[in-house]
Structure 1
Amino acid sequence: MPFLDVRELTLHYATPKGPVRAVDRVSFAIEQTGEAVAVVGESGSGKTSLAAAIMRLLPANIAAYTGQVILDGRDLMQLDKEAFRKSVRWREIAMVPQGALNTLNPVMRIGRQVIERPLLERLMTKEAALARAQSLLEMVGLPKEVLDRYPHELSGGMKQRVAIAMALVMSPKLLILDEPTSALDVSVQAQVMNLLKALKRDQGLTMLFITHDIALASDLCDRIVVAYGGEHVESGPADAVLLRPKHPYTERLIASIPKLKEAAQPEFLPGAPPDLIAPPSGCRFAPRCPRAFAACA
């Protein structure tokens, strides 16, 4: 049985113009603990909504929320909202949200922010929580002095490391990372990726890595899930997806990666993602696909 088994997960948002089909019958699995799986796709493919659906961090305007999220043999969708909050969110599944650099409270010291959640849940004494925070900062490559600093005193890369430490404070089984490198320059991005690889290697951390950058995904992840227009269009071992892509959208994503050792320019994908209020009736990529034919529509 897979460690995480997502089956036919659907999340639609209600709007005055009709439901937005942000996540439409998406299925994938993380086969075992210690594995990293990437969900890749351009903006508007439903990646962040997929993470929100798994974490059950949902807005009020939900039109549909169905499917199964099975973690370690337990279907989390069968839990009521309060049971999920108390027993799953942050304890079994934690998340580093998109734009995590801006989630830190500017008037609160880092140490207090790291220990806030376990103290609110009454899981640790203050002394134990501070010791845990110090250990986590060391794990993510930060000195213990950072505990006494404010967010404005830290660089972008340091803030991202703090966000990762905060997500790990309650020792979750699964860490979801939503675009963890998107706001960082290339050198800091490399440092964060090296940290994630070290956590995977040394701590056996299980990760769901959400990104628009398929090259980054291939550097960290064992498997890749390709999302487009709210749907899952392809998945498989990272090497197989990169070297033998089956879906035209995956081919175009790979073709858009700059090649350092080749003179050829990246191939940019024309057009825009589909309108998820009124998506195409057939393949949602068909209007942009150079290989589309009548059956695709």
Structure 2
Amino acid sequence: MNAVSSIQQVTNGARYEPLVQLRNITVTLDNKPILQNVDFQLGEKQCVAITGPSGAGKSTLLRLLAGIYHGHLEGHIEHFGTDCLASPDSRIGMVPQGVADNLNPHMTVVEHLLDGLDIHFKLSRRECHKRAHDLARQVALPQVLLKRYPRHLSGGEIQRVLLALALVSDPEILLLDEPTAALDEYTRNQIYQLLAQQRRIRTIVLVTHDMDLARAVADKVVRMGSGKVLEQAPATSLSSDICSRAPDTFKEPLVSPSQQVLELRQLNLNHHGRVLFSNFKMDLLRGSLTLVYGASGSGKTTLARVLAGWDPLPEGTELHRNGKAVLLAQHATAACARHFTLRQILEEPLIVSQQPVHDSQIRHWLKQVHLPHTDQFLQRYPASLSGGELQRLLLARAMLSEPELLIADEPTSALDPALREEMVSLLLTVQRLSDCTLLIFTHDKALVHLTGQAGWQLTSSGLSENGHYVQI
């Protein structure tokens, strides 16, 4: 990757007196250990990448460094030389995973920045606006986006807005949770460059499955598993061998596409003066598997929402669905009500649509997606599950509605290679069991190999035709 190779590793005369120190930290939630006896030190202008499988405790550790935690905490935490129990500190900025739910849908980008500046500084309105525009330039956010609302931003643009917000207080430490998840290669390279610039002036900790990012910007890699720190090593020691399987590892669904399940014609949609779709057309056959690729901002999520009926059809659009369509949303955490038990999360769509709720079906689909199907598990809350477990829970919820068309929006984003393969295997399994049509929108080029299917490129008028597949 040219952008990665062009980034020069920066060696800093790091001060080894730790800015943040965790000693013998244990965090439990619902009697389940999330972190176990963790020791962690963070020195001045270090850049540390935290890696490991989903459910390893990476995001919990990152939030703890920011002074945020849920559950019961034991151990000693020290921020900037001061003994403390976890508490927020303006010298620490945090960038959560880039979902629009982290932003106020009723505020523009510049209003978010002005609000943050007002909290941290006593500035005139003119100076606030100047600093807001400076922050936008610092994260390569075009000025034209400052007046937009979150719903009008792409995933990469949202990521840069969140980074700008984290930099509002000019923090000494910057924490990032999966900063390149679900971004296309071009946008990932932009984030690489931004972080390479930031690591020259501040300490950075990032949780990531992106080994290219870890090699490009990190000094040290911390590998976690089952809530424990398993290993700490220089980033240069990372293996470039990415686990993947041959195309024939997973079998194509044993179905015979014979009936059209979806027909879309004359979709015309503009986004802030930019044409997303012009006379767009699309057809899907029953039982088929379709992979759709496209750059950030190309309209993948917008199209997924339109096809699933989440967004209204633009005037003149013709959409015919033969059966029910269900959308498996990209961000599992945002799709789950925190105050609901897992049982309530599973039952909610059935209750809303006045469908019968069968306990046997709930347990059947939990078993199919490799989750416990006990009463104790169903009484738990979503905060007790990892991101990968939540994605599987939502897959079970989707299948309870018995869809003829299952639409998955970036189903493997922020998953490590092993769980990515498991998620693909589960999607193919539920398709085979239900005989549904499966439509996947993704940036993950590995899915071509994992499914044995060629991917179609999303264009403004339709999917690329005449056999012009995405070249992997």
Q: TM (normalized to structure 1)?
A: 0.71
What is the match of residue 73 of structure 1? Answer: 81
- What is the aligned partner in structure 2 of residue 215 from structure 1? 212
Q: Structure 2, unaligned stretches of length 5 or more?
A: 1-16, 250-369, 371-376, 378-383, 385-472
CA contact (8 A) 1:3 1:32 kept: yes
1:265 Cα shift? 6.4
What is the one-letter code of the residue matched to 2:191? V
Instruction: Give the counterpart of 2:236 among 213, 235, 239.
Output: 239
Of 59, 68, 79, which residue of structure 2 is paired with 1:48?
Answer: 59
Q: Output the CA distance in 1 between the equivalents of 2:122 and 2:28.
A: 35
- Whether the aligned pair in 2 keeps the contact of 1:11 and 1:53 (CA below 8 Å) is no
Code of the aligned partner of 2:135: L
Measure how far apart 1:257 and its partner are. 4.6
8 Å CA contact 2:49–2:207 kept in 1: the answer is yes
Does 2:104 match 1:92? no
**Structure having greater relative contact order (Cα 8 Å, sep ≥ 6):** 1
SS of match in other structure, 1:68? strand
Match of 2:14 in 1: none
Tell which structure's C-alpha radius of gyration is larger. Answer: 2
Match of 1:21 among 29, 33, 36: 33
TM (normalized to structure 2)?
Answer: 0.46
Please say if 1:9 is aligned against 2:15: no
User: What is the count of residue pairs matched by the alignment?
Assistant: 236
Change over 3 Å in CA distance of 1:111–1:229 after alignment to 2: same
SS at match of 2:94: strand
CA contact (8 A) 1:119 1:125 kept: no
Are 1:256 and 2:268 an aligned pair? no
Query: Percent identity over the alignment?
Result: 32
* SS of equivalent residue, structure 1 residue 234: strand
In structure 2, C-alpha distance between the alignment counterparts of 1:97 and 1:6, rounded to whole Å: 21
Question: Equivalent residues in 2 for 1:27-176 (5 A)?
Answer: 27-33=39-45, 35-59=46-70, 62=71, 64-77=72-85, 84-85=87-88, 88=89, 91-120=90-119, 123-176=122-175
AA matched with 2:134: S
* RMSD of Structure 2 on Structure 1 (CA): 2.7
In 1, Cα distance between equivalents of 2:207 and 2:104: 24
| Alpha carbons 1:11, 1:66 under 8 Å: kept | yes
Q: Does the 8 A contact of 1:100 with 1:163 survive in 2?
A: no
* Residue identity matched to 2:111: R
- Aligned-pair CA distance for 1:96: 0.5
Q: Could you say if the C-alpha distance between residues 70 and 195 of structure 1 is closer, same or farther in structure 2, counting changes exceeding 3 Å?
A: same
* 1:235 partner letter: Q
**Distance in 1 between the 2:37 and 2:174 partners?**
22
Q: Is the 8 A contact 1:12 1:21 kept in 2?
A: yes
Distance (Å, rounded) in 2 between the aligned partners of 1:32 and 1:58: 23
Deviates more, 1:158-167 or 1:21-30: 21-30
